[in-house]
Structure 1
Amino acid sequence: MSDAAAIVQGKESEFAVPTGVFAETVTSVEHYTDRLFKFRITRPASFRFRSGEFVMIGLPNAEKPVYRAYSIASPSWDEEIEFFSIKVQDGPLTEHLQKIQVGDTILMRKKPTGTLVNDALLPGKRVYMFSTGTGIAPFASLIRDPETYEKFDEVILTHTCREVCELKYGQELVAEILNDPLVGEMANGRLRHYCSVTREDYEFKGRITDLMESGKLFSDLGVPPINPEEDRGMICGSMAMLNDTKETLEGFGLVEGANNKPATFVVERAFVD
C-alpha cells in the first residue's frame, strides 16, 4: 500500500486508511483462555523492524480508530506479523480486537520502536528475559532470532502467570523453536524456559522477584546469582512487575540501558489497554 490514504472494506462500511498506516489482513487467530489469544496478520513488503520492538495497531471500526502499543511476537525474518494479546471486556481496543476473525483488517502504524532489542544491551554471557502474562511477546520474537544466540551463550526466558493454563503460549513456542530449522540447533542446550505461577499449585510458584531474591530461581536453574560482569536482563510485564524487577536487578548491580546508551538491562514500558 502506498503512503497515500487508501480505502479498505470493513465489516460495516468502507474506511479511509490514513497516511502512515498499513491495512493488513488477519491470517490466523488462536484463543488460549478467556483472557489470552494470539493472531497473525500479513506483513507489508516495506515493513522493517528489529526483533523485540513494538508497533501501534488498531481496527477500522471508528472514524478515529483507537491505537495501542503491541509488541511484535514474530522475529524480524518472519513473513507474517504475530501478536499475543489479553482480552479486556471494556478495553477501548481489546474489547473489539478479541472478536477478530481470519480475513478481517488490522491497522498498523508504519514506525516500530522499543527498547527490548539486542542492540540496547552490552555483550554478556547470559541474558535473562523476565516476563509476565502477555509480556512474553517481545521475547517470543527475540528467542526466534539467530542474532540473540550469536550475542549470548545462554538465554533464560522466565514467564510468570496467575494460572497454569496461561503458560501454554510460551510452552508451545519454546517446543517449536527447539525443532525449528533456522534456530533450533542454536537454541538447543542454550535456551532455557522457567515458568512460574502465582495463584495455583505448580512446580515453580511465586513472583519472579521473590524467586530471585530468595535465590530459588538460580538454584532451580543451576546458575550463579546475577552479576553485572556476565548477566544481562530484559523486562516486560505489568507496571508493578516492571518496577519491582528493575529494583531487583539494580540490587544485583545491573544498570538500565537504552538504544542510545547500551547497558546491562532494559525495560519495555509500552502497554495494551
Structure 2
Amino acid sequence: MNQEVSKALRGVALLKVRNIHHWTDRTFSFNCERPQSFRFRSGEFAMIGLIVDGKPLLRAYSIASPSWDEDLEFYSIKVDDGPLTSRLQHLKEGDEIVMRPKPVGTLVHDALLPGKRLFLFSTGTGIAPFASVIRDPETYEKFDHVILTQTCREAHELDYGKHLCESIVTHELLSEIVGDKLTHIGTTTREETPFMGRMTDWIRDGRLAAAVGGQLDPATDRVMICGSMAMLQDHKAICEEMGFIEGSNSEPGQFVIEKAFVD
C-alpha cells in the first residue's frame, strides 16, 4: 500500500464485500463484513464508498441490516452517471469498500415517544433503514403493530421488501418475536397492480385506515419517513396537518424523517 492510499484510509474502515444481489436493473443490495468494534442503532446510516483517485469517495447510506447482525447490509439504487453508484453497482464478492465508522441518523427509536403503532413510510430504496428497524426485536417490544409501506413505480421494484418480510417469517427467532405484529403494504404508481397509488393518497382517502384498522392518530401512532425529497415533504405535511410533532434524538416526538438525504 503506497503512502498516498495509506493516508486516504485514515479515519475509515476497509470492509470486504461478501455477496451482492441485483434485484432489478435499477437496484441492488450487498453485504459486507462488520468490524467487531462497530456499533449502531437500527435505522442509522453510515458514510460508505470507494477509494477513487487516491481519495475516499463517500456517500450516506442507510444500514439495512439490524444492529445484532454480523454483517452490514446496504440497499442501493444504480445511477450510471453517479460519482459513487456508477462504481458501486459493479462490486464483486471479495472487493472492498470503505466506511467512516461513525453512524448517525434520526430514524431510530430514541427519536420517537412511546406509542402503540409504528408506521414506516418509504419509497424506492428509502426502505433500507426500515429493513433494519423491522428486524430489530426492540421494535416489537416498543410497539404492538408495525406497518411497513413501500411505493415504487413497478411491481418488481417491491421484491426486496417482499423478500425481507418473508425472511422474517422463516427466521427461527424473529418469527416468534414478530408474530403477527408486522404488516407490509407495497403499492405501485405506474404498473397496474391490485394496490395502486401513492401512500399519501391512501392516507387521505382512507385506504390505509381500512387496511390497518384505523386512521393515523398522534395520540397512539408514531411515524418514520424515508424517500425522495418530494415524498418527505408530502408525508411531513400530512403528519403536521394531523397534529403530529416532529422528533429528534435530543427531543423525541411523534414522527421523524431522515434529513441526511435531503438537500
TM-score by length of 2: 0.96
Q: Distance in 1 between matches of 2:114 and 2:128?
A: 22
Structure 2 counterpart of 1:256, one-letter code = E
SS in 1 for 2:102: coil
CA contact (8 A) 2:27 2:76 kept: yes
Residue aligning to 1:11: none
SS in 2 for 1:30: strand
CA contact (8 A) 1:163 1:199 kept: yes
Shift of 1:272: 9.8
CA contact (8 A) 2:229 2:262 kept: no
Q: Distance in 2 between matches of 1:198 and 1:123?
A: 33
Give the alignment partner of residue 220 of structure 2, picking from 230, 237, 243: 230
Give the alignment partner of residue 171 of structure 2, picking from 177, 180, 201: 180
Q: Distance in 2 between matches of 1:148 and 1:46?
A: 23
SS in 1 for 2:161: helix
Give the alignment partner of residue 213 of structure 1, picking from 204, 209, 224: 204
Which runs of 5 or more residues in structure 1 are unaligned?
Answer: 1-6, 9-13
Residue aligning to 1:77: 68
Structure 2 counterpart of 1:50, one-letter code = R
Give the alignment partner of residue 241 of structure 2, picking from 237, 251, 264: 251
Give the alignment partner of residue 86 of structure 2, picking from 88, 92, 95: 95
Residue aligning to 1:27: 18
Shift of 1:220: 2.4
* Count of residues in Structure 1 that have an aligned counterpart in Structure 2: 262
Pairing 1:51–2:28 present? no
Which runs of 5 or more residues in structure 2 are unaligned?
Answer: none
Greater helix proportion: 2
Give the alignment partner of residue 110 of structure 2, picking from 91, 116, 119: 119
Residue aligning to 1:65: 56
CA contact (8 A) 1:70 1:272 kept: no
Residue aligning to 1:240: 230
Which moves more between the two structures, 59-68 or 261-270? 59-68
> What per-residue deviation string (whole Å, max 9, x for no partner) do you get for residues 46-89 of structure 1?
10000000000011232223210000000000001000000000
Structure 1 counterpart of 2:96, one-letter code = T
Residue aligning to 1:264: 254
Which moves more between the two structures, 175-184 or 43-52? 175-184
Shift of 1:246: 0.6
Pairing 1:107–2:93 present? no
Q: Distance in 1 between matches of 2:5 and 2:91?
A: 17
SS in 1 for 2:260: coil
